[in-house]
Every structure is written in structure tokens, then in C-alpha cells.
Amino acid sequence: MSLAARVKICGVTTVAQAVACADLRVDALGVNFVASSPRRVDERLARAVVEAVGRRTLVVGVVAGMTVEAMRALVDRTGVGCLQLHGDESAAEVAALLPHAYKAMRIAGPEDATDAEGMPGEYVMVDAQVQGSLGGTGHTFDWGWVVGLASRRKLVLAGGLTPENVRSAVERVRPWCVDVASGVESAPGVKDLGRVRAFVEAARPGG
């Protein structure tokens, strides 16, 4: 049986990008609200993305360093369907936003995968730990650290995925979803639709 994973394209920066990715039948799109990210968008653009593609593709808001109240207000203003918490949020803060939120955990060793499993909710994301960055770096980590986690949770696998390596990642880890930003870009925030198409086809061949 052929393995397949859901696909999230993170860091879309225009409505046109979002529509083009949705036309390629991705499962989710990420809009980034983190101030330090080169893919940061404002609430007006995020709302426009939701209005353009939200009926057929889940739009995920990427956040960090916000209070629970501020995150709830952001959801209300933009209409994003889910939040990806990419900062130092506690388990209690994640729990307060369930079921439409999940924690992104930075992985530098097997002990970090154990910490990820302790986060509440049905879903958890793992990304490479890179000093001074919250994500979107294009760095990979040892996928073997999270194979067990993927067998027990709906795991969103990120960190250095590309059209060239995502098939190996799916076969090794068997994640619920694969997440990519820099691996399908020609420049930060500029999606290369040929690479997006290749990524989707590799992550779910024949799908």
C-alpha cells in the first residue's frame, strides 16, 4: 500500500499564491504572524486569504509570543481555522485553545520528542531546532527521533523538507502531515509553484 501524507504549505504571502497552492489541492496553508519571520503578513492579508480559499483549504495562523486572549482575538479578526503555536507557549496555553490549535516543538534530540509528546491535543508539530530562529530555516533533523511519536499522535513533520526528500520522510516517519516553507520557494515568501506541485506529488503519489 502506498504511503501518503497530508500537505501544508506554510508562509504564503499573497492571495494569488494561496489560490495557486489551493488549486494544487494542498490540505492546508500557513499565514505567518510572527514579527521576526520574512514571511510575515498582516491581518488584512490573512483575512483575504481565508476569504479566497478557506472553503476548500484549511488556513493556519502561525503565532508566537502572544497571550491566549490575543490569539483568540486574532482568530476572530482573521477567520483562520487553526493556530500553530511556534513560541514558548506552555501546555496550559495550548490546552486553552483546543481543539483548533497545536504546538510546534523544536527538535534537537530524542528528549525533545518526549517533550513534544507531552503537549496536549490531538496534533503536534516537530521542526528543526536552529539557534535564534523559530522555524522556516530549511534545516532538517534526525527523523528517527520522532518515528515513535508519529505512531501515537497526528504528527505534522517540518524542518528542511523539499520535493527531493519528502518521499523518504513520509516512508521513514509516516507522519499525518508534512509541512514546507523554504523548500518550495525561490526566495523567502515567494512560492515556486513547480516545486509546490512536485512536493505534493511526492508526499502523496497518485493522490
d(CA 126, CA 105): 5
d(CA 27, CA 70): 26
One digit per residue, the tens of pLDDT, for the chain of length 207 reads: 457 899 999 999 999 999 999 999 999 999 999 998 999 999 999 999 999 999 999 999 999 999 999 999 999 999 999 999 999 999 999 999 999 999 999 998 898 989 999 999 999 999 987 555 544 556 788 999 999 999 999 999 999 999 999 999 999 999 999 999 999 999 989 999 999 999 999 999 866
Residue (of 31, 37, 89, 100) closest to 62 by Cα position: 31
Q: Residue 128's pLDDT is what?
A: 85
Q: Residue 3's pLDDT is what?
A: 76
d(CA 173, CA 66): 31
Q: Residue type at 45?
A: L
Produce one character per residue of 162-198: b if its CB has 16 or more CB atoms within 10 Å, e if not: bbebbbebbebbebbbbbbbbbbbeeebebeeebbbb
Task: Give residue for cell 523567502.
Answer: 188
Q: Residue 152's pLDDT is what?
A: 94
Neighbours of 32 (CB within 10 A): 28
Strands 82-85 and 101-107: parallel
Q: Residue 137's pLDDT is what?
A: 53
